[in-house]
Amino acid sequence: MFKKSLLILVSIVMILSLAPATLSAQGDPIVIGFLPGVVDPFYQVMELGVNAAAEDMGVQIITQIPQTWGVEVQTPILDAMIARGDLDYLIIAPTDKDQMIGPLEAALDAGIQVITVDTFLGDGDYVNGPVTFPISYIGSDNVEGGRIAARGLAAAIGGTGKVYINSTNPNVSSVEGRAVGFNEVMANEYPDIEVVGLDFNLDDPARATEQTAAVIAREPDLAGVFGTNVFSAQGAGQAVIQAGLGGQVQVVAYDATQLAIENLRAGVVSLVLAQKPFDMGYMAVQFAVAHAAGVTSLPKRVQTGFAIIDINNVDDPAIARFIYQVP
C-alpha cells in the first residue's frame, strides 16, 4: 500500500514540475501553429526561438516549413493547419502582403488568432488598417534596415559610383521595405551614387549570381551591390568572386549567415546586417500566451532591431551572438 501511495505522490510531483500549461478559453493547453516563409537559416533561428519559448511556457507547437517560397506553397499548408481544428494561434511569415490576407482571414474565421513575424499583411499598420485582425507584427524595421545598408555601402565605395540591388520576391513586405529604405537614402543623401537596377531572384541564389554577373558585365565600373536577404547576398557575392572583383565591388549583405560572415572575413562583403529572428520567434509565442491569458495591451507592432557586423566587430561576442547559428 505504501509503495503505491509513494508512486502516486511521485507521479503527481513530476506532473506538477512540468512547465504549467497555458490554457485556452476552453481550458485546454493552447496549441500554436508556426508557418515561416521557407527553409533557410533565418527561419531556422526563428524556430529555435519559437521552440525555446514553447518549452519555457508549456505550449504545444505545430511547425510546418515550406520547401520553397510563395503563396502557392504556403496557402495549402495553411489550409491544412486550419483543417486540423486544434490550433488556437498561428505564427506566420506571410509570403505575400496582399495574397495572404484572404487565407489568413479564413484562419481567423476558424477561430485561430494570427501573429505575423518577419513579414506583414497590407501596409503593416494593424492599428489603423486596412488590415487590423492580426494580434501583432513582430519583425525588423526593414525600411530602416535598407537605410543602414545604403549608408554602409556608400561608405564602402567612398560616396560615389554605381550600385545594384539584388532581391528575392515582389510584394513581400520585408525585402520590399529594404529596397525602399536603400533607394530613399541613395536618392536623398548620395547625389554621386546611381542605383542602376534591381532584380528579383525568386529565392534562387544561382539566379542571383547570374543576374549580378550580367550587371557586372553591363556596368564595368559597378562599385557595389546590396543583397537584400540570405539568397540575394549569397548569389551576388558569388558573382563578385567569380568575376575576380572581391574587394573592388563592395557587397552589403542583409542576414548574418555563416556564408555572409565568411565573405566578410574574405573581404568580399563589407557589412552584414543581422536581424534578430530568435527574438521574433520567442516573442511571438509570448504574445500568444499573453493573449490566451486575457492580456489586451499587446502592441500591434514590435520592431526587433539589428546587429551591424563588420570586420572590426565580427569577433566581439556581443555582436557575434547574432550570427545565425543553426543546428
List of residues contacting ligand T6T (CB under 6 A): 37, 40, 42-43, 118-119, 174-175, 229-231, 254-255, 275
- The minimum distance between CB 19 and ligand T6T, in angstroms, equals 29
Please report how close the Cβ of residue 65 comes to ligand T6T at its closest, in angstroms: 11
Nearest approach in angstroms of CB 51 to ligand T6T is 18
Residue number with CB closer to ligand T6T (91 or 193): 91
Per DSSP, 132 falls in state -
User: In whole angstroms, how close is the CB of 75 to ligand T6T at the nearest point?
Assistant: 17
Question: What is the closest distance, in whole angstroms, from the C-beta atom of residue 207 to ligand T6T in the complex?
Answer: 14
Closer residue to ligand T6T (CB): 92 or 175: 175
Task: Please tell me whether residue 119 adopts helix, strand or coil conformation.
Answer: coil
Instruction: Please identify, using beta-carbon distances, which residue of 57 and 138 lies nearer to ligand T6T.
Output: 138
Cβ proximity to ligand T6T, 44 vs 60, nearer residue: 44
Which CB atom, from 209 or from 229, has the smaller least distance to ligand T6T? 229
